[in-house]
A and B are shown apart, each in its own frame.
Chain A
Amino acid sequence: MNSAFRPVLIAVLALAGFFVPTLLGGSGAVYSACVLIAIFAVMSYGLDTVVSDLGEVSLAHTVFFAVGAYTTALLSTGPGFGPIATLLGALVVVSLIAAALGYITLGLREFAFSLVTYAVAVVGANLAQNWSFLGGSDGLRGIPAFNLSLGPLAFSAKNDQELWPIAYILLLIAIYVVYCFRRSRLGQAAMMSHLNPRLATMSGIDLQRTRLQVFLFSAPVTASAGWLYAYQRAYVSADVLETYFLILMLTAVVLVGRRVLLGPLIGVALIQVQEKFLSFGGYTDKIILGSVLVITLAFLPKGLLGLFQPLTGLFARRPSPVSETRL
């Protein structure tokens, strides 16, 4: 593709994406679904960098999501901070927690790493249910509507339709950040230490440092989704730590294909559309989501895109470079 033409095309696509809810009828349910898709996609992008690039399975990302939501709830209901201050607060708190967890798990790999991060998720849920500071089993209620005023400019979002621009901007930022990450030195170091740790070490990459940095990069991305989720729901309770979010994130990351930039977004969108518009009831939806995750990994190692690969081969004139990040 012509390199000068590419940024224009991306800009047009990004702009067109904003009008997707309008094109789909613009009803309340559509806006609500779109806002949730954007939020959950941002949540998944955080995990995506750890699973797809670093090659580790972090099960603590629901905690990062919850930290974002709880910090927002505490700061907006207590001291009455606005969205920018709560976002900054959420990012600071989650970075501290991710740094502590990253430090503890520095020497752990594969199952030991996953095991400890899983334990963090269970303990996080345990704390949220019992600790009165976090509202206990009732959770924290009364989060004010998203209200941003910068000088003469004021923006207020009282429903999902009004919240959509914020959710969409957050989504675009998350996608751009992950795109930059994959092209950055850190992203490449992560990929190298994933594919061949010995070679990475030989080429001067500090494995533990890379792992810690990727972890620290991914946690705020997921937490920023928690930040917006708190405003979207107007209350936060321990159910933000449910396994559902973990399975949703993991499925979104692997469903379309790993290291596909729009993969998590498309994955989340497919799952949410099924759950919102083609639901078979909570438990059956659970079975569907879990089965999709199992089937994708066990039988479609390249994700849904792998299914279409034989077709793309028909049209390709020459093999595309493997390392390129597909859009």
Chain B
Amino acid sequence: MNLTQQLINGLVLGHAYALVAIGWTVLLGVARLVNFAHGQMYMLGAFVSWYTISRLGLPYVVAIPIAMLAGVIVGYIMQRVLLQLTLKQDLVSIMIVTLGFGYVIHGCAALFFGSTGQILETPLSLQDIYIGDLWFTYQDIAIIITAILFFIALKYVIDRTRIGRLTRMVAEDPQLAQLAGINVKRVYLAVFAFEGAAVALAAALVAPRTPILTSMGFEEVIMTFVVVVLGGIGSVLGSYVAGLALGLFTALFGALVSPAYTTAAAFAVLIAVLVLRPGGLAANPGGR
């Protein structure tokens, strides 16, 4: 095993995990909401990008915003349906509804895109870079740069801008925020639309690394859970660090032990954190 190569893989994988988890981090940390359809929205983002490039013949740079637009639409529709439950803070129903949505998205995608595996090829994923015996692609570099920029921008928006302040107020106390004149409904809709766009962007960038299947959403989301929990639910900086750590861990585990059981290994890490640090799960409203 080439250790440096595995570290590079881990670094890319880690940024990919962090990027995919951004939407969830904001949703959970800022709005105290969950979305179990996250994995299916990732799948949808990947397939919309694939369809735009390989079937419509449009360039990659056009496919990304189209996928994001699809994400925004799905996120918006979901929150429109969920709005009453969100305002009631009926978390049990919200969780089940998002699971149902995930199932519907899976069914729709399978009908429209078919159930065979596809490969999302982009101009960046086809260009290899060799340094000595180390190998990576321009796609990998794009993932790392986008993830870092996205996290910096997100941290800035949440901490320093009016929009960030409003969302944090809604997360802290929706009723009181409404009394203070904030349009709570609009904030919830915006947060869900953002989650849709963020996960679609992540999918357009990360999905070219592996073959895509319409059934991949179920398993895809587990790494996001681990990142969010490890990072201290809702913490933006925590998610980034947790993503990196998990990426390095899975790359090394896959190379040293068994690639088939990386999901199980990531789950073992999750359980270890839960048992050792149960207090670490306490969500910090308005996530920093």
Contact = CB atoms under 8 A, between A and B. Distances in A.
A101 B264 CA distance: 15
Interface size class of A (residues with CB under 8 A): 35 or more
Interface string B252-288: 0000000011011001001100110010010000000
A226 B226 CA distance: 29
A291 to B, nearest CB: 6
A51 B99 CA distance: 14
Nearest to B270: A119
B281 A293 contact: no
Contacts of A297: 85, 93, 96-97, 100
A284 to B, nearest CB: 7
Interface residues of B, number: 45
Tell me if B's interface is mostly helix, strand, loop or mixed. Answer: helix
B104 A291 contact: yes
Interface stretch (A10-18, A85-93, A125-133): A125-133
A98 interface: no
A96 B169 CA distance: 44
Given A118-B225, A126-B219, A290-B107, A110 B96 contact: no
A127 B100 contact: no
A145 interface: no
A293 B106 CA distance: 14
B121 to A, nearest CB: 26
A111 interface: yes
A130 B260 contact: yes
Interface of B: 28, 34, 36, 81-82, 84-85, 91-93, 95-97, 99-104, 106-108, 110-111, 115, 218-219, 221-222, 225-226, 228-229, 233, 260-261, 263-264, 267, 270-271, 274-275, 278, 281
10 contacts: A57-B95, A112-B233, A125-B218, A126-B260, A243-B106, A250-B100, A286-B107, A287-B104, A287-B108, A294-B101
A-B pairs with lowest CB-CB distance, top 5:
A286-B107, A290-B103, A293-B100, A290-B104, A287-B107
